[in-house]
Structure 1
Amino acid sequence: MICLLWTGKLDKSPYCHLLSKVIWDKVTRELTRQFCNILGQSYESPLSMTIVVRVQGLPPVLKFMNVMVGKRNEWQTMKQLLVPVKLDREFQFHSIFVCLVSKEQATEENPPMLMSSGHLLCKQSISKVSKNGTKTFKCPYCPSDIDSRTV
């Protein structure tokens, strides 16, 4: 703000070092980083993030795979394998899932739930559509019948 007092003659002011491109590049980078942080998004490129997450997530998956090799028939019949993968805090972002049925963004109280069809709906929507878990319902994405007790 003080630079405004030196308009037109900043190069002769005690603040002339602020004209440096290196300084402005640092300021721009830091402002962008802070803005992305406030929004809960990453500053890094999606490709570099994907590579780093895969490098962090691969060891637990490989370890799980090695353990399950001896139980071949058991795990090959499962529809999905749940492997807990711990990621650094910088790779954990807020949910931006919007439920197709309720048109609301998912929250911690109303998280997205994976149905047997492989699609997602919010917990409250599944409860509503299935009459509090008492009946099966059609997946809004595809023609699959969903048993609410398996969600």
Structure 2
Amino acid sequence: MTTRLLKTLVGPGAPDAGLLYARLAGAALLLWVHGLPKLLHWQHELAHIDDPLHLGRGVTLLCALFAEVVCAVLIALGLFTRLATLPVLFLLLVSMVVVHADWTIEQGQFGWLLLIVFGTLALAGGGRYSLDARLVRRP
């Protein structure tokens, strides 16, 4: 390994490397497990999606797609990271507290872990290795 990489992994850049990892891993899981299946199987999802806020299944599915596809991509890029986590957190909270309120911790562990990952990103931001950081650095 190069000295620069080692410094990133164990030096002062380590928290930023951790935020990069959390952004990429969390966004990839959200997109792969939830967003893409909804996008690719729109009609099937529309017939089966819960509508806990009584917005209509179509609106509910569009909101879920916005959070799980658009926001996931923004988070992975580190663009508007804190803002992009808010729809994801809202969606996950509604899902875990309202839709799947009867689930045990074990049954809902994936959702709770995603809440932890995206909650951390909402608090900490995208870190130095994000487009947010590049936009702030420019005059």
Query: TM-score, normalised on structure 1?
Result: 0.27
> Which of structures 1 and 2 has the bigger CA Rg?
1
Structure with more strand by fraction: 1
Higher relative contact order (CA 8 A, sep 6+): 2
Structure with more helix by fraction: 2
